[in-house]
Amino acid sequence: MNAAVTLGVDLVDRVHAEVVARGSADETPDEARVRQLVRAHAPLIEPALESSTVEAVLARVQGLGPLEPLLDDPAVTEVMVNGGGHVWVERGGALVDTGVVVDESTALRLIERIVAPLGLRIDRSSPMVDARLVDGSRVNAVVHPLAVDGPCLTIRRFGSKALSLDAFADSDVAALLRAAVAERRNVVVSGGTGSGKTTLLNALAGQIPDQERVLTIEDAAELRLPGRHVVRLEARPANADGLGAVSVRDLVRNALRMRPDRIVVGEVRGAEALDMLQAMNTGHDGSLSTCHANGPDDALRRLETLCLLAGLELPLAAVRDQLLGAVDLVVQVARRPDGGRRIVAVGEPVRHDGTVRCRAVVRQGTIVAPIKRPGRTC
């Protein structure tokens, strides 16, 4: 058995090397051509080993090689290659060592295969990159000298099946949030990394009436809204020459000229927070966004800080006035120990001792008070 495995691995390496060497003639070799090369290298190969070898070579040439089976698993939400070594995945909310080992040269080749078609570069002078796969999966890669133990590749996958609000909360909380979207309240979803912010945002945006024109703005396009009038915008990083970058803030400003009924910003993490608040305050009711924060009050503090980063030297009192007028609800989502994602709190911004803080509407997943401010329904 070990001998067969060794033979298979060695044969895959040899056939793949020949395919690469013939790249000018066989840029995209099909299954028949690869099978022919396998038989040429191993005329007496068993049918089962032949088929598995052909699949492995095609995965290396056309896909992401040893990562392809992991990316094909619908239960896997994250794939992590650590320093050219063991590959870990998040499955069902838990981290699992797959037993797959990717050496440094293979990891570098996989990273290059992802970023090269996008016009991006990753090397010692530009050792970090963010990218997106064709299926919308988000990719982050770090190489030497920043990645001390070897290249690191992280792929965040997104399920093809959208979750409903009922997957995040009990029926009464889900009904409250459905009503908030119908009443065109501006909602910010907050939470930690991997807590399900984008998935919850997708569920909330799925409640927007079908006839409304919705513009989504994201660093990496992850939202999949069911509406018939959805326009998706995606930020663009600088190219290999450091030119051509288009930021989320640029897109938010441009979106205001595109006659949106609602604007959905995948995540605010910089000065675009101010533009988002201004959009919410100037007729684009029912807009949605997310931010990283440990709770509703922390989310407000973070939005304040991000607005101050806009460089307009606005007084803090003016920022707080914008914040209080723009945001109707802050929804906190968290990942539970069993890997599930749940809404743990909903807060309504109110003025308190010269600051803006959240009055609890939902605490520990239970409604504790009604929403006081009126909806924005026209």
The b/e string for 251-266 (b: 16+ C-beta within 10 A; e otherwise) is bbeebbeeebbbbbbb
Which residues have a Cβ under 8 Å from the Cβ of 152 and sit 6 or more positions away? 80, 81, 82, 83, 107, 141, 142, 143
pLDDT at 3: 46
Which residues have a Cβ under 8 Å from the Cβ of 203 and sit 6 or more positions away? 162, 163, 164, 165, 167, 168
First to last CA, the chain: 71
The position carrying tokens 């569920």 is: 203
pLDDT at 360: 96
165-367: CATH class: alpha beta
Instruction: Name residue 89's beta-bridge partners.
Output: 79, 96
Alpha carbons within 13 A on the beta-carbon side of 339: 11
Distance of CA 120 to the CA centre of its chain: 18
The position carrying tokens 């770090």 is: 142
Interstrand relation of 187-191 and 288-292 (parallel, antiparallel or unpaired)? parallel
Distance CA 14, CA 2 (A): 18
Helix 272-280 vs helix 316-326: angle between axes, to the nearest 10 degrees?
A: 50
The architecture that CATH gives domain 68-156 is 2-Layer Sandwich (3.30)
Distance CA 320, CA 113 (A): 46
Distance CA 148, CA 152 (A): 10
Structural domain boundaries of the chain? 2-62, 68-156, 165-367
Distance CA 75, CA 337 (A): 17
Distance of CA 240 to the CA centre of its chain: 23
pLDDT at 24: 45
Distance CA 318, CA 303 (A): 13
Alpha carbons within 13 A on the beta-carbon side of 305: 10
Angle at 332 between CA 312 and CA 160, to 5 degrees: 100
Distance CA 19, CA 92 (A): 37
- 43 token code pair: 């005329």
Angle at 169 between CA 164 and CA 172, to 5 degrees: 100
Which residues have a Cβ under 8 Å from the Cβ of 55 and sit 6 or more positions away? none
Distance CA 62, CA 56 (A): 10
Cα distances from 154 to residues 113, 117, 128, 321, 337, in angstroms, run 14, 18, 12, 39, 22
- pLDDT per position in the chain (378 positions), as tens? 344 444 556 787 787 677 766 654 445 567 788 888 888 888 888 888 888 888 777 766 666 778 888 888 888 989 999 987 889 999 877 889 998 888 888 888 888 888 877 777 888 888 998 888 877 788 999 999 999 989 999 998 876 567 889 999 999 999 999 999 999 999 999 999 888 898 899 999 999 998 999 999 988 787 888 888 999 998 887 776 777 889 888 998 898 899 999 999 988 988 889 888 888 887 889 999 999 999 999 999 999 999 998 877 889 999 999 999 999 999 999 988 877 889 999 999 999 888 999 999 999 999 999 999 888 875
Global pTM value: 0.77
